[in-house]
Structure 1
Amino acid sequence: MAAVSVAEAQEKLGELIDRVARGERVEILRDGEPVATLSAPVRPHDSGRKKEPIDFERLRILRNGMPPQSEDAGTFMRRMRDDERY
Structure 2
Amino acid sequence: MEHNYQSREGLKQFARNILAAFPDKAYTIEDIIGEGDRVLVRMTMRGTHQGVFYGHAPTERKTEVTLYREYRVADGRIAEHRG
* Structure-2-length-normalised TM-score: 0.22
**For the pair shown, which has the larger CA radius of gyration, 1 or 2?**
1
TM-score if structure 1 supplies the norm length?
0.21
Q: Larger % of strand: which?
A: 2
Which fold has the larger relative contact order, with Cα–Cα distance below 8 Å and residues 6 or more apart in sequence?
2
